[in-house]
Amino acid sequence: MTISQLLNDYKNGTTTPRDVMANIRAQIAEHAENPIFIHALSEAELEPYLQRLEGVSPDALPLYGIPFAIKDNIDLAGIPTTAACPAFSYIPEASAFVVAQLIEAGAIPVGKTNLDQFATGLVGTRSPYGACRNSIDPAYISGGSSSGSAISVALEMAAFSLGTDTAGSGRVPAAFNNLVGVKPSKGVLSTSGVVPACRSLDCVSIFALNTEDAKAVFDIACAFDAADPYSRKMPKTGGTAEKTMRFAVPLPSQLKFFGDSEAEALFNAAVARFESMGYTAVETDFSPMLDAANLLYSGPWVAERYIATKQIMDETPEQVLDVTRSIIEQGRDKSAEAYFNAEYRLKAYKRHSEQMLEGTDFALTPTTGTIYTIEAVNADPVQLNTNLGYYTNFMNLLDFAAYAVPAGFRPNGLPFGVTLFGDAFEDRRLMDVGEAFVAEAPRG
């Protein structure tokens, strides 16, 4: 279910948006045991979107009849937003800015997807609605926090979906479900109408089956929002870095696979594939990135999670899952002194990382060093979640753009992914390179 295929089918008259949505509702029912959606739109709720397209040519709208899923910390007018906390639920009068852009382009919302509560987690198991199961092997985690958004695309319940990404939530689920994941430059996709996790770091992310679809959605969603104080205009050039045909990889001593030799072999194969494409791998000291990553939860930014949930945390904390509450509570007592000390360190890490990456086109890491079963995560929820953030937590703190792409399969059929990242506003160039990498994947 790709955008180009659906548009082609609509133009040829081989299907209609009504037929597509009926098939999707049947697919959702077939996978009812997997809590992918917190709220799938009913036929009555879908009707206004379908009626709007009647009598309109598929050529008139770039996303005509394209179904998409929305992480349930992003507002859709008239549909509850829960952030995976029923006590927090509210019904917004207006859709989030990004959602409105996509609907205006002809896209049809399928529903609101499950997530790690308050977008706090990389596992997809921290929800009172149930743990989302991996689309390929249900014994394994889906990745989070944008769990349902990723699975909905992987299981053809949507052509693309919206997630959010603060610490890796738009990349980890992409890797675990064989998707591409756009972690845009901060601010180029508006966060108006999004429940904050860390407001100064949050990004709306995109899941898709391929780069062509990811680009199409990005180009529509990437619009300046004057009402969002964190919104930034995307330069018209979409990136200015000159190509050097060199890419940075961490020093061997800095690569962590947490005992997963299959992931290590797949990453080495990804590096070799880029080299076969004419690039040169440059071993680079990633210590400024890794040091910055440690600030995300040990530093003062966790206070932003507390600010976003303050009322429920102060008045009815029992409504928040234990593991989520334990993380957010750390933000209660962060001081201004702690913030500025951390900010000074972060500025130094940013400068150092820029120097380390100078003369390269992009940096390449595993998206995650390994994958876990749901049972394993339930037995050790904090440490295993921390392991999954090793390559992701620094990205927004250091203002990078990132693109996660599939990079092969383990012998048991589970996918592995890598992430390309670079300077802010290099989003489209990273997608171009990622697309070329995927095109060179071994066949068979």
Decide if 174 contacts 146 (C-beta within 8 A). no
Angle between helices 287-298 and 336-357 (to 10 degrees): 160
Residue 135 among the catalytic residues: no
Catalytic residue among 71, 112, 183, 350: 71
Q: Rounded to the nearest 5°, which phi and psi values hold at 434?
A: -60, -40
Q: Give just the sign of the alpha carbon dihedral 305, 308, 310, 313.
A: negative
- Distant-in-sequence, close-in-space partners of 4: CB < 8 Å, separation ≥ 6: 212, 213
The single residue of 147, 149, 169, 192 carrying the catalytic annotation is 169
8 Å CB contact between 406 and 273: no
State which amino acid sits at residue 325: R
Confirm whether 190 is a catalytic residue: no
Q: 419 — phi, psi (to 5°)?
A: -125, 130
- Which candidate in 95, 127, 145, 190 is catalytic? 145
- Rg, C-alpha atoms of the chain: 20
Cα–Cα distances in angstroms (integers) from residue 334 to residues 65, 73, 297, 331, 337, in the given order:
47, 25, 11, 6, 8
Residue type, 147: S
Q: Please tell me the distance from the alpha carbon of residue 160 to that of residue 215, in angstroms, as a whole number.
A: 11
**Is 145 one of the catalytic residues?**
yes
Q: Which residues are catalytic?
A: 71, 145, 169
